[in-house]
Amino acid sequence: MSIAPRTADAPQGPTAAPYRAEDRFLGLRIRPMTRRRIDTFRRHRRGYWSLWIFVGLFAISLFGEVLCNDRPLIVKFDGEYYFPVLVDYPETRFGGFFETATNYRDPYVRDLVKEHGWALWPLIRFSYRTINYDLKVPAPSPPSPDNWLGTDDQAKDVVANIVYGFRISVAFGFTLTILSSIIGVLVGAGSGYFGGWFDLLLQRFMEIWGSVPTLFLLIILASLITPGFWTIMALLMLFAWMGLVDLVRAEFYRARGHDYVRAARALGVADWTLIVRHVLPNAMISTVTMLPFILAGSVTTLTSLDFLGFGLPPGSPSLGNLLNQGKSQLSSPWLGISAFVILFVMLTLLVFIGEAVRDAFDPRKTQS
Amino acid sequence: MTQSRLVDVNDLSVSFRVGNRTVEAVRGVSFHIEKGETVALVGESGSGKSVTALSLLQLLPYPRAFHPTGSIRIDGEEMIGARERTLRSIRGNRVGMIFQEPMTSLNPLHTVEKQIAETLFVHRGMSRTQARARVIELLGLVGIPDAERRLGFYPHQLSGGQRQRVMIAMALANEPDLLIADEPTTAVDVTIQAQILTLLKDLQTRLGMALLIITHELAIVQKLAERIYVMHRGKFVEEGATREIFAHPQHEYTRMLIASEPKPRRDAPPAGTPVILEVKDLKVHFPVRGGFFGRTRDYIRAVDGISLTLHEGHTLGIVGESGSGKTTLGLAILRLIRSDGSIKFRGTELQGLTFNQLRPLRKDIQIVFQDPYGSLSPRMSVGEIIAEGLVVHQPRITYDERRERVAAALIEVGLEPEMMDRYPHEFSGGQRQRISIARALVLKPRLIVLDEPTSALDRTVQVQILDLLRGLRERYNLTYLFISHDLKVVRSIADRVVVMRNGKIVEEGLCEQVLNHPQTPYAAALVKASFDLVADNSGVVGI
């Protein structure tokens, strides 16, 4: 019988095959396909560098309290160490009059500290909510050695605002993206896999819901409830989940007809296992490809709400708010320009990363 | 002498840039075509025959593709490096081309008239009325009846064969000196294939043009071509007059190609075995909805009252053209789609069983699909793919035991156990099909539904897979339900055969009997088209 183009020294009996050398990435076992995707991503120089720059910027902003703060990192006072960044100390500890938390920017306190020891200050001696009372000119003040990018109309430092604003934008964007993707994938999966009435009703609902003018509705709702990080998140979630549903639904429809899904069903694999093992990975590819772009969209949405004044509560660090000030204070161009540059850089990086991810998952670029 | 040659290709090479590598698709081939001659390029998939044909008209994706060496002269004019204007004056004018896939080669948004007239406007500068007359003439030429009425048709309103004919009409519009046919009949049914080939031959003699046929099907070559070039891995291994080559093939590869025709089955199936599968009056109807409330107006009767009996150890071939419902029948028997009627497997009625009740039976009935690329999940290793059924049906066995069983199944299908940690994309089509078979085999099934398991493979690989299937059948006393459109393949493995058309059984009986002495006109037409490539004119088969 002529089967097998088999080499002479191949084992003839059933033996357990030896394991192949494993490929690892970040300590995880990865498949060759994943390895090729990572390599393609790396070869996309622009996206690869964008990812590192973005991660770097976000990491820096995560340490915002250490970088821009209105209290010192370490204070040595009478031979004892204090960590004002972490702990609130009453002013009386440093020989002041009040039982309240120390205002380290107060010249009186500063002198006291200098007399009895030393203080290590952050790079920028302002937090996003610190009002600079020492301005020589009326706020908004132009860039100066103290305020590198000047201050806004409430005499708050622009650099500090940008650092904290960037952090909250990205954090908000990430949370919104991840939550809405989870919901979107679940809904799309159910819709695509089971089809029928559920699918039909959901499609009609989404058509109606999707044609609601989102921004107006958000503005109305935002004026009814107290805005906050999570309430705005919930409001935006009302619409954001729809982005991925159609995509995932289509992928599921397609996958249902794949022969390997049929083969698995013929083997008796249960529905749930089938979805998780065979269908979901397909859908996840298009989902992952979309994520950076959804993230960029989420950031933009938050910024525009802030810009219109319906976003995060007043006093929060916010790029949208900074943009709005740039618009109303045309004679203070440093406000608008700073906000524009940081938004431009952030969104551009995200789009570049998105391009690289898309290439990495493009079968035409990884297959051969 | 060179002057009279229509096409003169010298030392042609084609390479592709893929990432940082260069892939050599064609390596230094030389050939020529005289006026009015029929020449064929024969080779298996990946041999470079299509690339060679496409480079004649410089239709490759340049600059990703490039020619390290060679020259292509059409009527003395050099094509490589020629200006776009020169190329345009040749394409669709002096040289026409028809492609494999009639559906994607026609623009779905243009009417038949517009598709064909376009080239007349471009090259002839004809007026609208002139062009219309010429289009009608061409449609008549390629054998489309009622041509005038079909001018306004869109591609989706035509059958596969008619689309192929429209393509040919487009290629012929400017009376080319050379017609290149790239696998012209691979995507159509056998009966249509016979018609198209007859048409091509007829047109060639009538119009006196040269014909270059690119195909992997030796039967076509034998019937049509005067000279052939056998291509293997980007090179010609043999060339010469058709009769000469078929009578005395010189090169080993050519000999293998000619030898790899599936042979008729010789051994007899075991006698007196019990019935394993009994299907009674099986129906699969898909509703056609219409009207304002989407009520069901009619049904598409994909499978319409089929009854079969299959004995253990036997192989039942189910043949039919596309749309006959044979694949749907296979899926319905496995209860992968809803159906009405009775399916009895070893005395147990499958209809009405719930998913969980059905599961223990699943390991006894397995399926192998046609497309070796679509039937294996690209995300799972070969070991995981084969072990999937084991995890479901024998959840108790240990990891090592499972690997051992997978290894055994791989050896069974002629692969090596080391392959289990590799991924499907690393394998050829034939190897993948072996993996599919291993997946079905690992559960030790009694019945395997083979849905066109060899259709996507080259002939030489087909023969190997058929050998494998026959060997397995003998060793494990397996029962096959073998679905195929290819009568040659069915003849080599089945003992009984059922001919299906429009969801119904047209004829059934012993394989030998049905194929040698078909009783119904449709079966006769099918047999004639398959084995002799002769088109049927009795009207049983549509155009």
SS (H, E, C) A229-278: HHHHHHHHHHHHCHHHHHHHHHHHHHHHCCHHHHHHHHCCCCHHHHHHHH
Q: With contact defined as beta carbons under 8 Å apart, do A142 and A332 qualify?
A: yes
A14: cis peptide before it, omega within 30°?
Answer: no
pLDDT tens-digit series, residues B448-472: 999 988 888 888 888 999 999 999 9
**Which H, E and C letters describe B165-231, residue by residue?**
HHHHHHHHCCCCCEEEEECCCCCCCHHHHHHHHHHHHHHHHHHCCEEEEEECCHHHHHHHCCEEEEE
Residue B438 clears pLDDT 90, i.e. is over it: yes
Tokens of B409: 């199944």
Judged by a CB distance cut-off of 8 A, whether residue B367 touches chain A is: yes
CB pairs under 8 A between A and B: 114
CB contact under 8 A, A15 and B407: yes
> What number is the average pLDDT over the span A170-185?
92
**Count of residues in chain B:** 543
Which residues of B fall within a CB distance of 8 Å from A265? 336
pLDDT tens-digit series, residues B210-243: 999 998 888 888 888 999 999 998 899 999 999 9
Residue holding tokens 């996958």?
A255
CB contact under 8 A, B19 and A2: no
Q: With contact defined as beta carbons under 8 Å apart, do B123 and B174 qualify?
A: yes
Share of chain A above pLDDT 70, in %: 91
- Tell me phi and psi for residue A235, to 5 degrees: -60, -45
Tokens of A239: 């619409």
User: By CA distance, what is A30's nearest residue in B?
Assistant: B379
The conformational region for residue B75 under phi > 0 = left, psi -120 to 50 = alpha, else beta, is: left
Question: Nearest-5° angle of CA B365, CA A192, CA B356?
Answer: 35
pLDDT tens-digit series, residues B477-527: 999 999 998 888 999 999 999 999 988 999 999 988 998 899 999 999 888
Q: Are strands B95-98 and A117-120 parallel, antiparallel or unpaired?
A: unpaired
Residue B259 clears pLDDT 90, i.e. is over it: no
Residue of B20, B331, B379, B419 best to disrupt the A interface, most CBs of A under 10 A: B379
Residue B94 clears pLDDT 60, i.e. is over it: yes
Residue A2 clears pLDDT 50, i.e. is over it: no
What type of residue sits at position A3? Answer: I
Within the 91-130 window of chain B, which residues sit less than 8 Å (CB to CB) from chain A? none
Q: Which helix (H) or strand (E) holds B75?
A: none
Share of chain B above pLDDT 90, in %: 30
Give the pLDDT of residue B543. 61
User: Who has greater pLDDT, B505 or B286?
Assistant: B505
Which residues, including other chains, have CB under 8 Å from residue A170's CB and lie 6 or more apart?
A58, A61, A299, A346
Which residues of A fall within a CB distance of 8 Å from B439? 263, 267
Give the pLDDT of residue B102. 67
First-to-last alpha carbon distance for chain A, in angstroms, is: 35
Give the pLDDT of residue A366. 54
Q: Which helix (H) or strand (E) holds B20?
A: none
Residue B201 clears pLDDT 70, i.e. is over it: yes
Give the pLDDT of residue A349. 93
Q: With contact defined as beta carbons under 8 Å apart, do A103 and A91 qualify?
A: yes
Give the pLDDT of residue A23. 67
Residue of B16, B21, B23, B388 best to disrupt the A interface, most CBs of A under 10 A: B388
Q: With contact defined as beta carbons under 8 Å apart, do B275 and B311 qualify?
A: yes
Per-residue burial over A117-140, b if 16 or more Cβ lie within 10 Å, else e, is bebeebebbbbbebbbeebeeebb
Strand runs (DSSP E) across chain A, as ranges? 23-25, 28-30, 74-77, 80-82, 117-120
Which residues, including other chains, have CB under 8 Å from residue A207's CB and lie 6 or more apart?
none
Which residues of A fall within a CB distance of 8 Å from B377? 260, 277-278
Q: What is the mean pLDDT of chain B?
A: 87
CB contact under 8 A, B418 and A18: yes
Residue holding tokens 């059924």?
B389
Which residues of A fall within a CB distance of 8 Å from B404? 14-16
Within the 29-88 window of chain B, which residues sit less than 8 Å (CB to CB) from chain A? none
> What number is the average pLDDT over the span B105-131?
87
**Band (B365; pLDDT cuts 50, 70, 90):** very high
Share of chain A above pLDDT 90, in %: 14
User: By CA distance, what is A20's nearest residue in B?
Assistant: B421
Q: What is the CA radius of gyration of chain B?
A: 26
Give the pLDDT of residue B293. 66
Judged by a CB distance cut-off of 8 A, whether residue B289 touches chain A is: no
Within the 13-32 window of chain B, which residues sit less than 8 Å (CB to CB) from chain A? 18-19
CB contact under 8 A, A32 and B366: no
- Tell me the helix, strand and coil percentages in chain B, rounded to 5: 40, 25, 35
Alpha helices (H) along A25-126:
32-43, 45-62, 64-67, 107-116
CA neighbours closer than 13 Å in the CB half-sphere of residue B217: 23
Number of H helices, E strands in chain A: 15, 5
Q: From the CA of A199, how many Å to the nearest CA of chain B?
A: 16
> What number is the average pLDDT over the span B393-413?
90
Which residues of A fall within a CB distance of 8 Å from B390? none
Which of A363, A355, A366 lies closest to A47 in space, CA to CA? A355
Which residues of B fall within a CB distance of 8 Å from A6? 414, 416
**Band (A368; pLDDT cuts 50, 70, 90):** very low
CB contact under 8 A, B436 and A263: yes
Q: What is the CA radius of gyration of chain A?
A: 28
> What number is the average pLDDT over the span A345-350?
92
Q: With contact defined as beta carbons under 8 Å apart, do B26 and B12 qualify?
A: yes
Q: With contact defined as beta carbons under 8 Å apart, do B348 and B446 qualify?
A: no
Q: State the CB neighbour count (10 A cutoff) for residue B172.
A: 20
Which residues of A fall within a CB distance of 8 Å from B425? 33, 367
CB contact under 8 A, B388 and A17: no
> What number is the average pLDDT over the span A135-154?
82
pLDDT tens-digit series, residues A188-218: 888 888 778 888 899 999 999 888 887 788 7
Q: What is the spatial distance between Cα B464 and Cα B458, in angstroms, rounded to a whole number?
A: 10
Q: What is the spatial distance between Cα B144 and Cα B166, in angstroms, rounded to a whole number?
A: 8
pLDDT tens-digit series, residues A289-343: 888 888 888 889 888 888 888 888 888 888 888 888 888 888 888 888 998 999 9
Give the pLDDT of residue B539. 67
Which residues, including other chains, have CB under 8 Å from residue B252's CB and lie 6 or more apart?
none
User: By CA distance, what is B471's nearest residue in A?
Assistant: A1
Which of B289, B398, B417, B273 lies closest to B346 in space, CA to CA? B273
Q: From the CA of B341, how many Å to the nearest CA of chain A?
A: 19
First-to-last alpha carbon distance for chain B, in angstroms, is: 42
Q: With contact defined as beta carbons under 8 Å apart, do B117 and B132 qualify?
A: yes
Nearest to B414 among A4, A258, A271 (CB): A4
pLDDT tens-digit series, residues B338-361: 899 999 999 889 898 888 888 888
Q: Are strands A74-77 and A80-82 parallel, antiparallel or unpaired?
A: antiparallel
Residue A15 clears pLDDT 70, i.e. is over it: no
Judged by a CB distance cut-off of 8 A, whether residue B493 touches chain A is: no
Residue A58 clears pLDDT 90, i.e. is over it: yes
Judged by a CB distance cut-off of 8 A, whether residue B464 touches chain A is: yes
Nearest to A2 among B404, B425, B467 (CB): B467
Residue B72 clears pLDDT 70, i.e. is over it: yes
Question: Nearest-5° angle of CA B309, CA B312, CA B316?
Answer: 50
Residue A1 clears pLDDT 50, i.e. is over it: no
Which of B261, B161, B187, B198 lies closest to B487 in space, CA to CA? B261
Distance of CA B9 to the CA centre of its chain: 29
Which residues of A fall within a CB distance of 8 Å from B403? 16-17
pTM over 0.90: no
Residue B45 clears pLDDT 90, i.e. is over it: no
Question: Nearest-5° angle of CA B355, CA B358, CA B360?
Answer: 125
SS3 state of residue B318: strand
> What number is the average pLDDT over the span A229-234?
87
Q: With contact defined as beta carbons under 8 Å apart, do B495 and B460 qualify?
A: no
